[in-house]
Structures are given as C-alpha cells and as structure tokens.
Amino acid sequence: MTDSALPTTSREWRLLSRPVGWPKPEDFELAEAEIRRPGRGEVLVRNAYVSVDPYMRGRMSSAKSYVAPFELGKAMQGGAVGEVVASEAEGVSVGDHVLHFGGWREYATVDAKQAVKVDPDAAPLSTYLGVLGMTGLTAYAGLLRTAAFKEGDSVFVSGAAGAVGSQVGQIARLKGASRVIGSAGSDEKVKLLVEEYGFDAAFNYKNGPVAEQLRAAAPDGIDVYFDNVGGDHLEAAIGALNENGRIAICGMISVYNNTEPAPGPKNLARLIQTRGRIEGLLVGDHYDLQPQFVQEVGAWVRSGELKYRETVVEGIENNLEAFLGVLRGDNTGKMIVKL
C-alpha cells in the first residue's frame, strides 16, 4: 500500500468515564481519529485481530494497580496483531506482521521496539494473541514456575474453558499430572474440558457448591490450584489442598465488578496444617520463558497434542460487546475481535 493510498482516519474505542460495578455502554465511545504517520523508529499497523481480556476491567478503574489505568478520553490499549503498512524503522518492512499493544483501534502507530514480528505461515495470526501469546505464556509460566508443578501432581483449574485455564489443564496433562480437574460455567464447557481437552474430571460451578463438587472430583485432594476466579473457588481449593500444595493466583474474575470488597476465604488457617503456599502471578515477570514457551507449546499445537478454541467476534464496532462477553463468560477459549 502506497503512502497516498493509506486512509487518513481510523476508528478507536475510548473510555469516557470510570465504570462503577459492571461497565455500561455509556462509559465508552467509538470515535474517529486521525491516523498519525510513523516517525523515526515507528511503524503503522493495520490491525487484523485485537484482544479483549479480563485484566482490562482493572485498567478502567483509577485504583493503583500493577498497570497504569486507561486515560479518560484517550484510546484504550490491548494486544493486537496486524500488517505493517508504513515503516520508518530499520528491520521492519511494509508487509511484515507484528504483535503489539495498540489494540481497541483499526490502525496503530507504534514504536517498532515495542512490536514483535510474527510469522503468519507458522501459525494463524490470531494464535499470537492467545495460545501462542500472552495468555499462553501466562498458563505456561503460572503452572510450571509459580505453582512449581511436578509430574504426578493433581491439578485443579478454575475458569478452565477460558483462554488461560484450558491451556493450564492441557499442559499439566502433557507434563504428567496424576489428575486434572476443571470448573466451568456451563454443561457444554464441562463436556469440552473432558472430551476435547483431556481433563480427567470437570464440573459446572452453577450446579452446586464448589467445595462439594471439587471433593467429588478430587477425593484424594489437590496439589496445585490455578485460580482464575477467586471467591468460593479459592476457598474450596484451600479446603482440598494436600500437604505442601501450591496455589497460583492468576485472576479473580468473580470479584472484578464488585462495588464492595469481597470477603476473603474463611479457611486460610488450613494453610498452616498443609504448609500450603499462595502466590500471585503477573505474566510480565516471566518473559524470559518466552523462547522456551514458543518452542514447546508451538510444537504441541502443530502436532495437535494441545488443542485450543477461539471465540471470534467480527468488527471494531463490536469490540466493547466482546469485552463484556469475556466478563460474562460468554467465550470458549480466547475471545478475539477480527477487524
């Protein structure tokens, strides 16, 4: 595409007001913005796919967190992958495909140092936002490093049909777990976990108390709990934890839209008895594992040993609805918006 053929404007989503409780459409706007041509060391990318993820809810708040909040009236950010249509950066050419953080918009002008080249012939472009992207690395690092998984461990994963949870369970199985248990929010997702992803047992948390269902699925207890949900799932996992068990806290989607602090687990004292450990997880602390992750998980994806699902929503105008869908649990696997 020649410079003269490039569009002059691009649509982008902006945060207008900080949501209280569940985000509402009036908290956002889809606006038209002028496309800035790249300066020295920059590239202009036409986004093909953009990511929506649960952590973005936290960035809509002004509360101090591990990542800066979205600025009001400015374009929001998130993972995206697309084609370079203009470049002023050495080593990046027009026609290259890159992974970057200028999502929630159709075109993004980004610092080439903040963009990573990806190969659309090695794997579908969308996978670099999911199974081979940040969510995949989160699963890999969280299970193997934070939770210190070892062969023979019994593993419980909440939010197990989501982008991270589904990979955690499969990696545990491929690495020799004695038993893999998952929870999900529908009978259809439970069936998927067992029949397609190879979980040994799974349950629908809406069908009864989590603690009772976990006890039935893991009568001998669990060694590792990978937490995407928090709340009653965390309390149930502490109750089922074996001696020297480990809990990796990746997310707590059940409390993200609460307007009052959620009560903590009532059984934390049990960690004394089990010598259990709880540790929080941020993927940004584990980028050193990226080459190892891409090599190992990429091979599993190519061989078909590790399966993945994507829920694809079409059109930038549906970006917000796709994000709200993630908070509701509408997605199976990674939620992605195709532009």
- The mean pLDDT of the chain is 94
Q: What is the pLDDT of residues 8-46, one digit of tens each?
A: 999 999 999 999 999 999 999 999 999 999 999 999 999
Q: Which tokens go with 15?
A: 């945060």
Q: What is the pLDDT of residue 27?
A: 97
Give the distance from CA 51 to its chain's centroid.
Answer: 9
Q: What is the pLDDT of residue 57?
A: 93
What does the pLDDT average to over 221-247?
97
CB 115 within 8 A of CB 123: no
d(CA 216, CA 271): 21
Q: What is the pLDDT of residues 207-217, one digit of tens each?
A: 999 999 999 99
Burial classification of residue 215, based on how many CB atoms lie within 10 Å of its CB (0-12 exposed, 13-18 middle, 19 or more buried): middle
Alpha-carbon Rg for the chain, nearest whole angstrom, is 21
Q: Is the pLDDT of residue 1 over 80?
A: no
Q: What is the pLDDT of residue 296?
A: 94
Q: Is the pLDDT of residue 238 over 90?
A: yes
- Whole-number Cα distances in Å, 330 to 116, 155, 256, 312, 314: 29, 24, 16, 11, 15
| CA angle, residues 141, 310, 94, in degrees to nearest 5 | 85
Helix (H, G, I), strand (E, B) or coil at 120: coil
CB 108 within 8 A of CB 33: no
Q: What is the pLDDT of residue 290?
A: 87
d(CA 95, CA 117): 11
Dihedral over Cα of 319, 160, 168, 233: its sign: positive
Nearest Cα residue to 283 out of 161, 67, 134: 134
d(CA 171, CA 147): 13
Q: What is the pLDDT of residue 2?
A: 54
d(CA 251, CA 64): 16
What does the pLDDT average to over 195-204?
98
Give the pLDDT band (50/70/90) at residue 60. very high
Nearest Cα residue to 227 out of 252, 258, 245, 199: 252
Q: What is the pLDDT of residue 136?
A: 94
Residue 220 region, left (φ>0) first, then alpha (ψ -120 to 50), else beta? Answer: alpha
d(CA 193, CA 43): 40
d(CA 49, CA 133): 13
| DSSP letters spanning 236-267 | HHHHHEEEEEEEEE---GGGTT-SSPPPPPTT
Q: Which helix (H) or strand (E) holds 83?
A: strand 80-87
Q: What is the pLDDT of residues 70-97, one digit of tens each?
A: 999 999 999 999 999 999 999 999 999 9
Which residue type does 169 have? Answer: G
Q: What is the pLDDT of residue 62?
A: 86
d(CA 333, CA 75): 26
d(CA 238, CA 255): 18
Q: Is the pLDDT of residue 324 over 80?
A: yes
d(CA 240, CA 219): 9
Give the pLDDT band (50/70/90) at residue 4. low
